[in-house]
DNA sequence: CTGTTTATCGTCAGGGAGACGACTATGATC
DNA sequence: GATCATAGTCGTCTCCCTGACGATAAACAG
């Protein structure tokens, strides 16, 4: 099937971002309010068109910087920016009612940002607990104090896939450190796991596991009491990216 | 950023297929020879354009059927067709020298097909051991008896990603059964793992693991001696899709 | 000073995996 | 038919990891 360049059906290609962070013991996703039709006024994932001469990952990084000011560390890299990776591609024929759009979704894991409304973009944006957005099943931490509304387009499905990817990936990789500031304590890292998985973990077993895995954490020598209680050692993310054996999330 | 439907850059969208099978103790990928420029005469992954009103997965399934006659069981389903799932999307600006093409790669795991040249397509197609295609590191089983040649476009990279996905996914899922005929023995399943991972596994421990995992295998009652030696029980794939705990491939 | 919070170290039992020994049931070969 | 090679299947033993949980340490709040 030698294809004919003059006869291919035209598509628009976008990138959509599932930007996750942990705020106040809850896994949150960045959502923006749509300013125009379709789905005007509804919340959606941030995203935009891929430019004609732009790589997909570069487009995702550009959108991320535009929305949050974060500068991603593509494909690994030390803590200090955000982790960015391709998630999946969504291309159902009528997912956008106006035209045929194929969206390459990306997943971003970011530390908690001080800015309440991230980025200086004119659109309103907020961090929404993933439990408050329909399409996710983690209703445990969802207490109903916020407006629950389904996302525009198929973004609910994309968010669900991104959350599931994050939940499973921190099992066998050191990616959870991407949710932490450059220096963090074992307890802070544990609270990340608890927020992402929505379960409580035993502090003693968790401490044994993460400090006993070579290359996962490297002590910086400092300590902190910012969590209250006894001072805790500070760590940086080590070079290891794969956890072997993995830390499996507890059964139902 | 309310986007303007009349001003988006146009892309062509294709699907490319990484079709894997196990033949004669080796993991093999389906490759087709290109009939026209660019890369004329080089081997490439099968694939083609997504039609204007066609879902991505449907396009992948259609291409698969056109190339091999296989009818995929999308997203799980019992043994009898092939497993198909989305792999990743490749969209570097100049990956196709003619125009901007974004390719949504899919991964297919198929049982060994009797047909030497799969499908009745006019193009020449063959099963190539993945070790014989550059871009993969599993050189152990590659003995140099076949022509080694790098694939067209970025298909070497796509193949490598697909092989890595298959290698890691059979660790924690029952997907390895997709490489097997509807009824198979424990030994045949073990040889699938050995071929995909390129390692030797202990038959006794493997037998204990797979027969001891609930829902992985269900005995059909029959036996076979098609492998020689003592008759072996026949099994079908059970309903379980996730292996818990996983069967981790041995270290280096 | 006492209670509370968080961090960290230890102990113990159970499960799973790797390393093997032993036995079984076929077909092939002498 | 006896023997051998080939696979399959069952057991055992040890080590390591994990989950459950007791105990101690070091800060702060009253």
What are the tens digits of pLDDT across the range A96-140? 999 999 999 999 999 997 765 655 555 688 999 998 876 545 444
Protein residues contacting strand D, judged by Cβ under 7 Å: A 202, 204-205, 208-209, 225, 228-231, 245-248, 250; B 185-188, 190, 203-205, 207-208, 211, 227-233
Report the pLDDT value the prediction gives residue B9, as an integer from 0 to 100: 84
Report the pLDDT value the prediction gives residue B17, as an integer from 0 to 100: 98
Report the pLDDT value the prediction gives residue B142, as an integer from 0 to 100: 46
CA distance B82 to chain A (A): 21
Q: Provide the mean pLDDT of chain A.
A: 88
Q: Is A120 near strand C, with its CB below 7 A from some atom of it?
A: no
Fold category of A9-171 in CATH: Nucleoside Triphosphate Pyrophosphohydrolase (3.90.79)
Q: Kindly report the CATH class assigned to B174-237.
A: mainly alpha
Which of A50-54, A117-121, A200-204 comes out lowest in average pLDDT? A117-121
Answer whether residue B25 shows pLDDT above 90: yes
Q: Where are the beta strands (DSSP E) in chain A?
A: 12-23, 26-33, 43-44, 47-49, 72-74, 82-90, 101-109, 125-129, 217-224, 232-237
Q: Which residue has the higher pLDDT, B62 or B3?
A: B62
Q: Distance from residue B207 (CA) to nucleotide C16 (C1'), in Å?
A: 14
Answer whether residue A203 shows pLDDT above 80: yes
CA distance A70 to chain B (A): 18
DSSP three-state, residue A22: strand
Query: What are B106-153's pLDDT values in tens digits?
Result: 999 999 976 656 555 556 889 999 988 765 454 444 445 555 678 999
Rounded to an integer, the average pLDDT of A210-229 is 94
Answer whether residue A232 shows pLDDT above 80: yes
CB A152, CB A34: distance < 8 Å: yes
Query: What are B79-106's pLDDT values in tens digits?
Result: 457 999 999 999 999 999 999 999 999 9
Q: Which residue has the higher pLDDT, A189 or B141?
A: A189
Burial class (CB in 10 A: 0-12, 13-18, 19+), B238: middle
In a mutational test of the B interface, the residue from A12, A42, A106, A169 whose CB has the highest number of chain B CBs within 10 Å is: A12
- Which CA distances in Å does A81 have to A55, A167, A245? 20, 20, 27
Chain B residue numbers touching A49 (CB-CB < 8 A): 3, 8-9
Of the candidates B51, B17, B102, which has an alpha carbon nearest to the alpha carbon of residue A14?
A: B102
Which of A44-53, B6-15, B153-162, B231-240 comes out lowest in average pLDDT? B6-15
Q: Distance from residue B31 (CA) to nucleotide C8 (C1'), in Å?
A: 56
Highest-pLDDT range among A132-136, B6-10, B66-70: B66-70
Domain extent listing, chain B = 9-171, 174-237
Report the pLDDT value the prediction gives residue A251, as an integer from 0 to 100: 80
Answer whether residue B28 shows pLDDT above 80: yes
In this complex, the residue with its CA at the shortest distance from the C1' of nucleotide D25 is: A230
Report the pLDDT value the prediction gives residue B115, as an integer from 0 to 100: 64
Q: Which residue has the higher pLDDT, B139 or B28?
A: B28
Burial class (CB in 10 A: 0-12, 13-18, 19+), A77: middle
Answer whether residue A78 shows pLDDT above 90: no
> Could you give the percent of chain A with pLDDT greater than 90?
71
Banded pLDDT at B8 (limits 50, 70, 90): confident
Q: Is B26 near strand C, with its CB below 7 A from some atom of it?
A: no
> Could you give the percent of chain B with pLDDT greater than 70?
84
Strands A43-44 and A217-224: unpaired
Banded pLDDT at A2 (limits 50, 70, 90): very low
Which of A145-159, A186-200, B100-114, B216-230 comes out lowest in average pLDDT? A145-159
Report the pLDDT value the prediction gives residue A139, as an integer from 0 to 100: 42
């Amino acid at each position: 099937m030698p294809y004919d360049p003059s006869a291919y059906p035209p598509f628009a290609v976008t990138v959509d971002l599932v930007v996750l962070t942990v705020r106040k013991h809850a896994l949150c996703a960045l959502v923006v309010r749509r300013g125009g039709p379709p789905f005007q006024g509804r919340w959606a994932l941030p995203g935009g068109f891929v430019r004609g001469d732009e790589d997909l990952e570069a487009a995702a990084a550009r959108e991320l910087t535009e929305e949050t000011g974060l500068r991603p560390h593509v494909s690994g890299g030390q803590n200090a920016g955000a982790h960015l990776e391709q998630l999946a591609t969504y291309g159902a024929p009528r997912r956008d009612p106006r035209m045929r759009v194929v969206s390459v979704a990306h997943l971003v894991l970011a530390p908690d940002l001080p800015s309440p409304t991230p980025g200086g973009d004119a659109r309103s944006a907020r961090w929404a607990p993933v439990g408050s957005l329909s399409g996710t099943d983690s209703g445990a931490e969802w207490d109903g104090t916020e407006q629950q509304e389904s996302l525009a387009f198929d973004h609910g499905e994309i968010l669900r896939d991104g959350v599931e990817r994050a939940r499973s990936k921190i099992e066998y990789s050191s990616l959870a450190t991407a949710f932490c500031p450059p220096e963090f304590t074992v307890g802070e890292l544990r609270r990340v796991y608890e927020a992402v998985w929505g379960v409580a973990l035993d502090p003693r077993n968790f401490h044994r596991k993460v400090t006993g895995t070579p290359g996962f954490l490297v002590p910086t020598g400092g300590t902190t009491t910012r969590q209250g209680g006894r001072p805790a050692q500070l760590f940086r993310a080590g070079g290891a990216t794969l956890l072997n054996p993995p830390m499996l999330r507890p059964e139902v």
